[in-house]
Structure 1
Amino acid sequence: MAALSAMRADTSPLTGTHPAHVFHPLSEILSLWAADGIDTTPFRAGVENAQRRYTGYGLSRMLPLDRVLVGCESSRAGAFGGFHHPNQGYRHLQMVAVITMHGPMERRNPERPSLALLDLLRAYAHDCLHYGSRRRYAEVAGLPVRTQYGINYRRVTGQSYSVADERGSRHTRNLGIVMEGACDKEARSITRKTAERFGFTEPTDVLGALAFRDVTGTLTKEDSRRAVDVPESAEQTQYAAALRHYEMGVNRRYLHFLEEFAPGEENECHTRLLAAVISGDTTTLGAWLDDRHGPGTFAGLFRTPGYFEPVTA
C-alpha cells in the first residue's frame, strides 16, 4: 500500500508531538552513552535473552534499533521520561517505537544509568512483541485500515471483535488488554532477569524504588495503590500516577485473567497466548482453552455480541 509506505518513510509526525525533546535512534543513543563511559552491556545482554525467548514464540526478527527513537536533551524544564511518559510507544502504521530516556530529560545521559538501561530494555522488549504481532490491513478509500492485530480483529467499518471492559473493572475480557499485558509480562520478566544477573539494586527513594519494581515486574498490591507526590516536580508526580494506572489497568487485569482461566497453569497459558499473538492463529490456544472450559471458549470470552451485525447506511 502506497499510503502505508509513505507513513513509514516519515516519522516526523510522531516526534513532532514532543517538540521539546531531541530524538536519537536507539543504536545511536547506545553508542553515545558508551562513549561517555556508561556500560551498555546489560541492555545488550537482555536483548540477546529476549531474542532467544522470542524465537520460541515464533518471532523471527526483532524490531530494528534504528526504528526506535529515544527522546532526551529536552528544552522543557522539569521534563521526566521513561516507559510511562505520555504519548509514546510502538506505532504500527509508521512501524516505529517512540520512547524517552528514564529520569530527568534535560540532558543526554541518564541521571541513573542502571535504572535507565532497565527501563529502556523493558520498553524495547515490549515493543519488539508489538512489532512482531500478526497484522493484516485492508485499503479503504486509499488509506490502510488494520483489520487484525495479533489475536484481535476489526471490521473495516470499525467494529472491534473484542468487547471493552467496564471502567475500573478488576477483570478483563478485552483482547487489547490481554495482549498488552502478555507483552509487558514477558518484557518485565526479561528485565528482571537482567537486573538480577548484573546485580542492579533498588534505589532508596520512593519514585526510584517504584520505577525499579515496575520495570522488573515486582510491584506489590500496596505499590499499585500508593499515590506518590513529588512536591518539587509535577512531571514526576504525573509519572508515578501513570505507572499506577497502567499497573492496575493492564498488568493486574492480565494476571487476574490468567488466574481465572488457567489456575496452576498460568505460565503455560501465557506462553500459548504469546505464540498466538505472533502467529495470529488462535487454533492451538483455542483448543487448549476448550479442553479446560468447554467448546467455543475463546469466542465466548472475547467476541462482542454485535461484531457480525449488518452495517446500515
Structure 2
Amino acid sequence: MRADASPLTEKHPAQVFRPLSEMLSGWEADGIDTASFRAGVETASRRYAAYGLAHMLPLDRVLVGCESSRVGAFGGFHHPDQGYRHLQMVAVITMYGPMERRNPERPALALLDLLRAYAHDCLHYGSRRRYVEVAGRPVRTQYGINFRRTGGQSYSATDQRGSHHTRNLGIVMEGACDAEARSISRQTAARFGFTEPLDSLGTLTYRDMTGTLTKGDTERAAGLSGSDEQTRYAAALGGYETGVNRPYARFLEEFAPGEEDACHTRLLGAIISGDVGTLGAWLDDRHGPGTVSGLFRTSRYFEPSGAVPGPGGG
C-alpha cells in the first residue's frame, strides 16, 4: 500500500500529481518565492516537537495536484476527496486556485493554503495509531485518543444532526489539528506581511487559511456566486467551519473557559502520544473524575475479549 499511491491519485484522473518537493522546486525555478512556506514549516516543526512529534511528514509523501484537464478546475484545502491517508502514509492535496496550469494564479495565497494543508496533515501523520490484522488486512484500532473495535464500534458516537457542540473525538481531534495548522498560517501571514484579497472568494479563503472567519463569512460562503467549482469550494469551506472548527472552539470554551490554549496543548500532546492520562487528569481536576469517558464514551462501545481498552480505562 505504501509503495503505490496510484489508488489515491486515480480518484482525480484530470489532475497531474507531483511530490511537494518537486512542486516547490518547479515554482522556485519559475521565479516564485516560496520563503513563506518554508518558514512556516520551520515554525511548525519547532512547535510540533514540543508536542512530541519527532518527524514531520516527508515532502515526498505529499502529492500536489495541478495542470488539470477539467475546464474550470479549482483546488485547495477543501477540494473533495483529498487529505492524509494513513494506510498509504500519503497526503493528496491540490494547488489552491485555478488548476489548469502548473503555477498558481495567486502564489501568496496558494503557498499559505499549502502550508495550512501540510501543517494539518503532519499532525495526522504523527498521531498515534495501532493496528491489528483481521482476515489478512490491517485494521486500525487506535487513532490519536480515539479507539475502535475490530467490529467497527467507535469509542465516541457521531454528533446528532444540528448539534451546536461536539462529543465526538473525531471532530475534536480534527479541530485541534486544524486550529494548530491555521495558527501557523496566521503567524506566517503576519510575518510576511500578507493582506486579505479584495474579492469575495479571496477574502473568504484567506480568513479560512488564517482562522479568522466570522459567522457572517460562513453565511456568505453558502451563497457565493462564481463558477460551479468555486461555489462548491466556498460551500465546502463554510461546511468545514461550521462542522469542525466552530464545534471544536465551542468544546474548548465549554470545558476550558479561560484556559483554552492549555487544553488545546494537552489535546495535541495526547493525540500524538496516544496517552490520554495527562489530558484526562487535567480535565478531572476541573470537572470531576472520569470526565473523558463521561464526555465521549458511547454506550455501544463494549469490551470484547482481548480488545484494547479505550481512554479512561475503556
TM-score in terms of structure 1 length: 0.96
In 2, the alpha carbon distance for the partners of 1:230 and 1:193 equals 30
Counterpart-to-counterpart distance in 1, 2:164 and 2:123: 25
Q: How many residues align?
A: 304
Task: State the match for 1:202 in structure 2.
Answer: 196
Please give the per-residue CA displacement for 1:51-93, whole angstroms capped at 9, x wherever unaligned: 0000000000000000000000000000000000000000001
Matching residue of 2:172: 178
The aligned counterpart of 2:286 is 292
**Structure 2 residue aligned with 1:238:** 232
**Map of 2:312 onto structure 1:** none
Please tell me whether residue 303 in structure 1 is matched to residue 307 in structure 2. Answer: no
1:169 to partner: Cα distance: 1.2
The structural deviation recorded for 1:230 is 2.4
Where does structure 2 lack aligned partners over 5 or more consecutive residues? 306-314
Aligned to 2:41: 47
Inter-partner Cα distance in structure 2 for 1:52 and 1:181: 20
Give distance in 2, aligned partners of 1:191 and 1:262: 24
Give secondary structure in 2 for the equivalent of 1:77: coil
Give yes or no for the alignment of 1:109 onto 2:103.
yes
Counterpart selection for 1:222 from 216, 226, 236: 216
**Aligned AA for 2:151?**
T
Cα offset, 1:166, TM superposition: 0.7
SS at 1:8 equivalent: coil
The answer to whether structure 1 residue 56 and structure 2 residue 50 are counterparts is yes
Deviations 1:85-144 (A, max 9, x none): 000000001000000000000000000000000000000000000000000000000000
CA distance in 2, matches of 1:309, 1:61: 33
Q: 2:114 aligns with which of 113, 120, 123?
A: 120
Q: Deviations over 1:243-286 (max 9, x none)?
A: 00000000000000000000000000000000000000000000
Report the Cα distance in structure 1 between the residues aligned to 2:195 and 2:278, rounded to whole angstroms: 40
CA shift, 1:225, in A, is 2.0
Task: Give the 5 Å matches for 1:29-40.
Answer: 29-40=23-34
Please list the CA deviations of residues 136-162 of structure 1 after superposition, one character each: whole Å capped at 9, or x if unmatched. 000000000000000000011110001
Which consecutive segments of 4 or more residues in structure 1 shift more than 6 A? none
Which segments of 5 or more consecutive residues in structure 1 lack a partner in the other structure?
A: 1-6
CA–CA distance in structure 2, aligned partners of residues 146 and 161 of structure 1:
13
Q: Write the deviation string for residues 163-207 of structure 1: whole angstroms up to 9, x where unpaired.
A: 110112110000000000000000000000000000011100000
Is contact 1:207-1:228 (8 Å) kept? Answer: no
SS of 1:90's equivalent in the other structure is strand
Partner of 2:181: 187
Q: Which secondary structure state, in structure 1, belongs to the residue aligned with residue 2 of structure 2? A: helix
Q: Show CA shifts across 1:211-261 (max 9, x none).
A: 000000000111122223324x10000000000000000000000000000
**Offset, 1:309:** 6.2
Pairwise CA distance, 1:310: 5.7
SS at match of 1:66: helix
Q: TM-score, normalised by structure 2?
A: 0.96
Kindly provide the amino acid, as one letter, of the partner of residue 199 in structure 1.
G
Residue number among 143, 154, 162 corresponding to 2:156 in the alignment: 162
Match of 1:274 among 251, 262, 268: 268
- Aligned match of 2:311: none
Q: What is aligned with 2:136?
A: 142
Aligned residue for 1:4? none
